[in-house]
Chains A and B, each alone.
Chain A
Amino acid sequence: MSSHWFKLLSRGEDEVLQLVLSNLDFSTNTARHLTPLVESLKKHDKASALQEVKTIGDMETQADAMHIKAVETVSGGSFFGGIREDILELLETIDNIADAAKDSSRIFSQRDIPFETIDYLFKRDVASFIKTLLDTADDLKIAIQALAQRNAKAKIVELATKVERKEEEADEIRVSILDNLLRNEIKADPLDIILLKQFLEVADDVADSSEDASDVLLVLVVKGYT
Chain B
Amino acid sequence: MVAFYSPIELVVILILACVFLAFVLGWNNSSLTTGNLSNLVTYTVAVALTLVGMLTGFLLEGSKMTHSVLGKLVQTPIGATEILIGTLVSLTLFLALTLTKIPVSLSNCVVGSFVGVALASKAVISSRSLIEILASWLIAPFFCLGVAILIYEVATRSEGSISLPTVSWINRLVLFAAVFYVSYSLGANNVGLILSFVIRTNVLKFSVGEELGIELAIYFGIASGTMLFGKSIAKVLGEKIVTLSQVKTVAAMLGAAFVTWILTQFSIPVSLTQVVLGGMLGAGSAKGPTVVNTRGLMTMIWRWAAITVLCTAAGYGIEYLLLKLY
Contact = CB atoms under 8 A, between A and B. Distances in A.
Nearest to A221: B164
A152 B162 CA distance: 8
Contact of B164 (A3, A7, A225): A225
B133 to A, nearest CB: 34
A225 B166 contact: no
A14 B156 CA distance: 21
B121 interface: no
B160 interface: yes
B152 interface: yes
Chain A interface bracket (under 10, 10 to 19, 20 to 34, 35 or more): 20 to 34
Given A147-B164, A152-B164, A82 B171 contact: yes
A149 B171 CA distance: 17
Interface string A142-174: 000001111111000000000000000000000
Nearest to B42: A78
Contact of A82 (B39, B162, B173): B39
Contacts of A84: 39
B164 A226 contact: no
B161 A82 contact: no
B175 interface: yes
B165 A13 contact: yes
Nearest to B244: A82
A224 B40 CA distance: 14
B172 A220 contact: no
A69 interface: no
Interface residues of B, number: 27
B166 A10 contact: yes
Contact of B161 (A79, A83, A151, A220): A151
B247 interface: yes
A93 B152 CA distance: 32
Interface in B244-260: 245-248
Contact of B171 (A3, A81, A152, A220): A81
A122 B194 CA distance: 82
Given A79-B172, A84-B39, A226 B166 contact: no
A78 B287 contact: no
B159 interface: yes
B299 interface: no
B6 interface: no
A220 B160 CA distance: 15
Contacts of B170: 6, 10
A17 B156 CA distance: 22
Contact of A150 (B152, B155, B163, B172): B163
Given A10-B163, A83-B168, 9 more contacts: A10-B165, A13-B169, A80-B168, A81-B168, A82-B168, A147-B165, A223-B246, A224-B164, A226-B287
Interface of A: 3, 6-7, 9-10, 12-14, 16-17, 78-84, 147-153, 220-221, 223-226
27 contacts: A3-B162, A6-B162, A9-B169, A10-B165, A10-B170, A13-B166, A13-B169, A78-B40, A78-B41, A79-B172, A80-B165, A80-B168, A81-B39, A81-B40, A83-B168, A150-B162, A151-B161, A152-B163, A152-B164, A221-B164, A224-B164, A224-B167, A225-B159, A225-B164, A226-B152, A226-B155, A226-B245
A-B pairs with lowest CB-CB distance, top 10? A13-B165, A82-B246, A10-B169, A81-B40, A226-B247, A226-B156, A10-B166, A147-B164, A10-B165, A6-B166
